[in-house]
Structure 1
Amino acid sequence: MSETRKEEIVEAALKRFSHFGIQKTTMNEIADDLRITKANLYYYYADKSTLLGDCVKSVMDEMSTREYEIIQANEGGLLGTLFSLFELHNNYSKDYYMLSLYEKVEIIRELSMQCMVQEFDQRNIKNLRILFERAIETKELVLIDLEMATYAFHEIIKGLSMFHRISDIITGIPNIDNTEKILVSQKRAARFILEGKLISKQS
């Protein structure tokens, strides 16, 4: 099976899903965009849910690479790196906002999709742990319980995202302006949570 052809299909599907949403996108339209037959498309992807899974995985893999680069750069220390990660996620949310509303779609109930969502959560937790551990080792941060702090921070940041997007998920009507509200809230929360825990480098 041609991986190049699958990548082309995923790219075309992402454009459709991102612009029109998952429910309003048909396999016929994706085939037309690629100028291939529907039979040819179904040879690679038997149904839309399988294609959607590869689309989500493609975005997650690309984001993971960018996250690694930001974490390695460590620009601005802990808070600066966290803000850069928030901004990265915000940019992806803007680019794929219609795709990010997949929670309302029945497809999300499939086990494979749930596993990917859980994998994304676990990766975020792992990244946070790496950042907090490094900040502790470099005497930038003081934490009593690393594991508790990591999970609590993750839950709060994720909860803020859901808080600003819940109406979109329920109604299915996207409001991309919510992405900026999420970013502002996450930065404000991070400052508040870490206040008193960050050690000043000024002598």
Structure 2
Amino acid sequence: MLAENKDEMREKILEAALKRFMHYGASKTTMNEIADDLRCSKASLYYYFSDKKALHNAVLMKIGETFFEEQEIEADKDISSEQIFTNIIAIKKQFVERYSRLELFKILNDKSEEIQQIIRSVHEREAKMLTKIIEKGVASGEFDVDDPVAIAQLYRDAMEGLRFAGMSCLPETIPDLDKEAFEKIVAQQKLLTEIFVRGIKKR
């Protein structure tokens, strides 16, 4: 099989799994069902993914990459850093609403070294992006910050705290998102961002 055909097949498996997981949830989807959707053997799936957990993680990594790319594109826009922070909250909100049935937060309970390394990489990527946004604000005269790296880390940690505080509204399995609780978290993130930006604005 040609390398490009292998890559194409892997992408087809990921797309089929994503469609199933979003509709039925990962826990209620079988490898047989994904194979049937693709009209291939289950053995073909195991050629690319060792088990359903590996496939689920690969799907999460795929949509996670798109998620970060959207934020990084926003961070590069020629608008105020304050507006970028606000727009990124909107991107995150849309992402969770779209993929809430995908059992996004199961991965956070996976203590394997492989997954923990991925989570650390995600945190580093987010901190780097936030640092860039703050540095942009400093360069434009919008912010007065001596240590953009430390301030970016502080903001990331604070936002992370709000996410974890409200994780009860984020389903690990098929039940739908608790929209009222989720909207409360988003409102808190917006308020936190408003207070944070006000604190670092140049006077």
* Normalised-by-shorter TM-score class: 0.7 to 0.9
Return the alpha-carbon distance in structure 1 between the equivalents of residues 36 and 115 of structure 2: 26
Contact 1:94 1:176 in 2 (8 A): no
Unmatched 5+ stretches in structure 1: none
2:29 to 25, 31, 34: 25
Give 1:189 deviation, angstroms.
Answer: 0.5
- Asked if residue 120 in structure 1 is aligned to residue 116 in structure 2, the reply is no
When normalised by structure 1's length, the TM-score is 0.86
1:154 to 131, 137, 156: 156
Spell out the pairing of 1:32-181 with structure 2 (5 A cutoff). 32-75=36-79, 77-99=80-102, 100-103=104-107, 108-166=110-168, 168=170, 173-177=175-179, 178-181=181-184
When normalised by structure 2's length, the TM-score is 0.86
Unmatched 5+ stretches in structure 2: none
Return the alpha-carbon distance in structure 1 between the equivalents of residues 54 and 152 of structure 2: 33
Which of 30-39 and 79-88 deviates more?
A: 30-39
Size of the aligned set, in residue pairs, is 197
> In structure 1, what is the equivalent of residue 11 of structure 2?
7
Distance 1:170 1:68, change over 3 A: closer
Contact 1:104 1:169 in 2 (8 A): no
Distance 1:30 1:4, change over 3 A: same
Contact 1:97 1:176 in 2 (8 A): no
Return the alpha-carbon distance in structure 1 between the equivalents of residues 182 and 8 of structure 2: 32
Give 1:18 deviation, angstroms.
Answer: 2.4
Return the alpha-carbon distance in structure 2 between the equivalents of residues 27 and 55 of structure 1: 14
Give 1:9 deviation, angstroms.
Answer: 0.6
Return the alpha-carbon distance in structure 1 between the equivalents of residues 15 and 172 of structure 2: 27
Give 1:147 deviation, angstroms.
Answer: 2.7
Contact 1:93 1:179 in 2 (8 A): no
Contact 2:101 2:174 in 1 (8 A): no
The percentage of aligned residue pairs carrying the same residue is 25
